[in-house]
Structure 1
């Protein structure tokens, strides 16, 4: 009898220890993948989320495994996230993925609002799940860290641009400012209009100059994020492993730890439903405010959630629900979202067209400068330099919301999404003001 029990336990143990993808046994994942891929190449994949989710999750899981197990890539280039983004883009660009599938994913990401849905969950859950005093302390010091990154990045690209014959003014205006401008919709598009009117140049022409810088800058920001994560493992004193504000002493560390009350809340499906409603309602509230206040709705959403958290308006039970929903979305749907970013938002041809030594050097200087400046200023203000470099620096240098997800995923610091969004939205608005001032200076 005991032998049979031992045999059964051994079988279960071996099954549990077997190779898994997304927590699914390899054999089961293979069956699921065959079904989804067969539908994809037969043209039978349904539209909407019911078709987009399975293909995005299958592709994301496969590329995530490849990236996280490939030497050099996993250690220095961000691992799974960067492979998912560029691997997915390659599949569509070179016709390895049916055009219809690309349309389904693109429609789901843009028309279906999956990116906004994901970011809303992360912003709401991560802010409401933070320690209230920690949030207040960090927010007050954050803008100077952003400004430090902008000053160093623009200063370096101008200096290097002048030294290599590209021109300091041209390097700052056409490479530095667009990269630090908050992405495409909130950055490059309004910047191209500002530049076009000031320089009497067609807006489309300005965009054609800015987009390659944005695309290459975003790619390098993801790579640098992965390298900073690696640096944090080598030099632990430089990182809070996802905590932005330094722990001043053991008592402060205890304050930043999850409340005992939170730990006592088991995973609750109803609470997660409340979290879903809270996150989407805060997103809608940001849109309402955007009708009256000339600031991006994401920034208004962040401010609103932060005010509610600081004032203790939301009952703790509901905050826990928002946090549980955020964790569910982050743990299960991040690879799928990165596939959508690769297919719908990453212009591989624009990145490839940008590859000449001079241009790559200037973009690299801008991205690295943003990380250095924000890291140094953040450290002086009481932030961990790596977390400050990633959020206040690299999340200014990437392509807005999509770049924030990719950078934080590559650095394994997704809970810093609220600060990343502050960089992309409020920081992006700051760059529009700065661009106008620089144009008047350079004339």
Structure 2
């Protein structure tokens, strides 16, 4: 049988029958065979039905494999990294047919499954947080982001100069794109900014940036798993998903929120949580229409945060949103990671960028983000591991998809709101910073 642990993860009880996705393994195997036969002969239903069944089957299998492999499980993020990169490899080597790839890609991008998932996580995790923790963490968070950015850009400038790549080239074409918030909200607008200052076409600049973003995302995911392992070996550095140090042993500050997870989960509660999370996402898109310079995710975080701090939402509705978040995270995370691997991870781009010099500079950037965010985060009262993951790695990954992958590898999905602040507000900060740096250092690039 399965039970739910303190973080909402499903765990198999000792002595019970071996299970996959909460089912006896042989029942799951029958379902998997049916879905795979449908995939192979081209009859997988289009839309949500076909995409979800395929992604859940693949995600469950890859997650189980990743969590059993010793080195992968302990140091590389376990099931999360296997689900992403094994799925990407299936596409790259043509093992998945084009129709299935199209079904999953459309479900992730056109039909908005990624937005649906992130909306549930943002709403539920913020409303399930202590109000005091939310206020205190928000005030301290920007310095941690800035610390990560300064170290990432500074480290790569030094490394690029030392190994002959060029300090400015490494900073502008590798480090800034990696720290810029992904592709759509990062590399694409950054290429436009660079083009207007350098006299090159945006397409040419983007072709240089894309491999850095893709490889940086892969390195960030691996680092998420490594930091989780470091946190277990050095518990004084880790809050085990708790960002602020002063709250780790302050049970009174979190008592009300911790009780919410113990309330009875009902079908009605889950339905309310579904409606609330999707409506909050609509709030973000409405505001973004009038202030498009800031992403809808960021506006959603701000709106939910204000409502939480002001106490405008009845406690019962906060409980519903938190239970919906737990339901989505427990049941659909491996499936989402498969979707990220198929729809967002181009293994060809990662392989094409894989030279020793390039890899070194990408790794230096990500490690710089980890060190800077962890050190400054500690100074402002955060646990270094949590600060390095959220303010560091979630700046260095590929936006929303990268946040899910990194936090899953680090086993800290409850930190999604802070990851999204890094990707969205931090990404906007990088555009402003890159414009200023181009004016100062851009000549001669």
Q: Fold-level match, TM-score > 0.5?
A: yes
Q: Which runs of 5+ in 2 are unaligned?
A: 1-11
Distance in 1 of aligned mates of 2:429 and 2:253? 33
Tell me by how many angstroms 1:15 deviates.
Answer: 11
Distance in 2 of aligned mates of 1:314 and 1:210? 43
Q: Structure 1 residues 352 and 386 mapped into 2: Cα distance closer, same or farther (>3 Å)?
A: same
Q: Structure 1 residues 264 and 43 mapped into 2: Cα distance closer, same or farther (>3 Å)?
A: closer
Aligned-residue Cα RMSD (Å) equals 1.4
Matched, 1:268 2:287: no
Q: In the TM superposition, what whole-angstrom CA distance separates every residue of 1:388-410 from its partner, at most 9, and x where no partner exists?
A: 00000000000000000000000
Residue pairs, 1:356-435, within 5 angstroms: 356-435=355-434
Distance in 2 of aligned mates of 1:303 and 1:281? 14
Q: In the TM superposition, what whole-angstrom CA distance separates every residue of 1:338-369 from its partner, at most 9, and x where no partner exists?
A: 00000000010000011111000000000011
Q: Which residue in 2 is equivalent to 1:253?
A: 251
Q: Which residue in 2 is equivalent to 1:280?
A: 278
Q: Structure 1 residues 14 and 424 mapped into 2: Cα distance closer, same or farther (>3 Å)?
A: closer
Residue pairs, 1:83-232, within 5 angstroms: 83-232=82-231
Q: In the TM superposition, what whole-angstrom CA distance separates every residue of 1:70-121 from its partner, at most 9, and x where no partner exists?
A: 1211111111000000000111111111110000000000010000000000
Q: Which residue in 2 is equivalent to 1:442?
A: 441
Identify the range of structure 1 (291-300 vs 301-310) with the bigger mean alpha-carbon deviation: 291-300
Distance in 2 of aligned mates of 1:202 and 1:87? 34
Q: In the TM superposition, what whole-angstrom CA distance separates every residue of 1:32-91 from its partner, at most 9, and x where no partner exists?
A: 100000000011101000100000000001111111111211111111000000000111
Larger Rg: 1
Identify the range of structure 1 (44-53 vs 241-250) with the bigger mean alpha-carbon deviation: 241-250
Q: In the TM superposition, what whole-angstrom CA distance separates every residue of 1:207-230 from its partner, at most 9, and x where no partner exists?
A: 110010000000000000000000
Distance in 2 of aligned mates of 1:417 and 1:79? 19
Q: Which residue in 2 is equivalent to 1:351?
A: 350
Q: In the TM superposition, what whole-angstrom CA distance separates every residue of 1:196-243 from its partner, at most 9, and x where no partner exists?
A: 111111111111100100000000000000000000110001000000
Distance in 2 of aligned mates of 1:270 and 1:421? 28
TM-score (norm 2): 0.95
Q: Which runs of 5+ in 1 are unaligned?
A: 1-12
After TM superposition, where is structure 1 displaced by more than 6 Å over at least 4 residues in a row? 13-16
Identify the range of structure 1 (81-90 vs 265-274) with the bigger mean alpha-carbon deviation: 265-274
Distance in 2 of aligned mates of 1:257 and 1:371? 31
Contact 1:161 1:168 in 2 (8 A): yes
Q: What secondary structure is seen at the aligned counterpart in 1 of 2:70?
A: coil
Contact 1:247 1:253 in 2 (8 A): no
